[in-house]
Chain A
Amino acid sequence: MKIKLDLHNHSCLSPCGSDDMLPSLLAFEAMEKGIDILALTDHNCSRNLEPFQEACELCQILPIFGMEINTIEDVHVLSLFKSLNDAQEFGFYIESLLPNIKNDPRLFGNQNIVDIEGNIISTFEKSLLTTCGITLEDVVSETLSRDGLVIPAHIDKKANSILANLGFLPDLDYSALEAIRPQDIKETHNKTVIQGSDAHYLEHIGRRFCYLEVDEISYEGLKKGLIDGKVSYKK
């Protein structure tokens, strides 16, 4: 079956994400847009994944629990998991690698940890908008060792992308690649190139997505679908 996939979204926990980007609203808006498999991928942090799970259950969307990790090379990589526990555990490890720089909400925005109703439970103190002390190679191996999916984000973006920061794509065991303009990617290294909305505002949700042929709507179906690579893009 052909499903609608969007594996790149931020919530109000990401400083650059709007305060209105509640995990619950992300799920509801994605449901409206017909997304079948949806990931929440805040910068370097997994603390809004729990309300995201609850909301996806209500919306009958398959949740994928992720983070957008900012590596030592200043490259953004999506690290995605089947279970909330695995994502949270890896998230706590990533948090511990963040430098001790306090977020200044006036300059960078709030880092709100919320519940399913959008009530602010607490705020995350350390700045999430920075590189954490892990290499690209270690993000790949650590994610794969936890049965996760690892996808370099927006590889064709002019900043914080593999191609801009490194100038080439190191030969690592990526699960797929994400691009803003997948049709223009010449060197895919035999990987499936997906498109994600990288939503920071409610109106961004579903602005980019892709269709993927899968056997079933499940994490295993997604994993196999990415290997099979029958992907198509919005016209």
Chain B
Amino acid sequence: MTVNDLAKIDGFNTIILSDGSLEVSSAYTGDLLSDVIANVGDDSVLITVQAHKNTIAVCSLSSMPAIVICNGRSCPDDMIKAAKENDISIFETDDTQFLASVKIAKALNL
């Protein structure tokens, strides 16, 4: 699927859609960003509560096209700006990381 398909998931609000055509082939759920860097695969969407600019740097480093920020947390402006500059899309949801992961797993037919 693509980033555009993430935008269609129930309960996901699009904060910024940078490049909706980018491929999403997997997902990684985690709040410890060093663990994300160490273990994430390419083209994964990141499911996390880490709503700050440094998360964008981690996604950029690990070729992640999108982030889903969970538990109703909101993204600061500098994070959204950095996402735009790095072709990364951001979605916010009131879902927990578990529920967001389940929804994405279904969308990926896992």
A residues apposed to B, CB below 8 Å: 72-74, 135-137, 163-168, 170
Contact = CB atoms under 8 A, between A and B. Distances in A.
Interface of B: 31-38, 50-54, 57-58, 61, 76, 78
Contacts of A170: 54, 57
A167 B50 contact: no
Nearest to B32: A165
**Chain A contact residues: over half helix, strand or loop, or mixed?**
loop
B78 to A, nearest CB: 8
A72 B73 CA distance: 11
A166 B53 contact: no
Contacts of A137: 53, 78
A175 B58 CA distance: 24
**Residue of B33, B50, B54 with most partner-chain A CB within 10 A:** B54
Nearest to A74: B31
B14 to A, nearest CB: 23
A164 B61 CA distance: 16
A91 B57 CA distance: 30
A146 B34 CA distance: 31
A135 B34 contact: no
Nearest to A159: B32
A165 B34 contact: yes
Contact of B58 (A72, A136, A163, A166): A166
Given A74-B31, A164-B34, A168-B61, 20 more contacts: A73-B50, A73-B52, A135-B52, A135-B76, A136-B54, A137-B53, A137-B78, A163-B34, A165-B32, A165-B34, A166-B33, A166-B54, A166-B58, A167-B34, A167-B35, A167-B36, A167-B38, A167-B61, A168-B54, A170-B57
Contacts of A163: 34
Contact of B37 (A73, A74, A168): A168
A28 to B, nearest CB: 39
B83 to A, nearest CB: 15
